[in-house]
Amino acid sequence: MSDLFAPLGAAVISRKGALRLEQGHVWVYRSDVVSLPASMAGVVEVVGERGRPYGMALASPDSMITLRLVTRGKTAVTADLVRERLVQAFARRTQLYGGGDAFRWVHGEGDLLPSIFVDRFGDALTLQMLSAAADAWQAFLVECLVEVARPRAVVVRNDATARRREGLATDIQVAHGAAPVLARYHEGDLALEVDLLADQKTGGFLDQATNHVRAAEFARGAEALDCFTYHGGFALQLARVATHVTAVDSSAAALVRARANAERAGLGNLAFEQADVFELLPELLRTGRRFDVVVLDPPAFASNKASEDRARRAYKEINLRGLKLLVPGGLLVTCSCSGRITPAAFDEIIAEAARDAQRDVQILERRGAGPDHPVLVGVPETDYLKCRIVRAL
The catalytic residues are 337
- 391 to 84, 290, 330, 338, 368: CA distances (angstroms): 45, 14, 6, 23, 18
How far is 95 from 112, CA to CA, in rounded Å? 18
Question: Which 8-state DSSP code applies to residue 307?
Answer: G
- DSSP letters spanning 183-225: EEEEETTEEEEEETTTSSTTSS-GGGHHHHHHHHHH--SSEEE
Beta-carbon contacts of residue 208 (< 8 Å; ≥ 6 apart):
233, 234, 297, 335, 369, 370, 385, 387
How far is 123 from 346, CA to CA, in rounded Å? 36
Classify residue 76 by burial, with Cβ atoms within 10 Å: 0-12, 13-18, 19+. middle
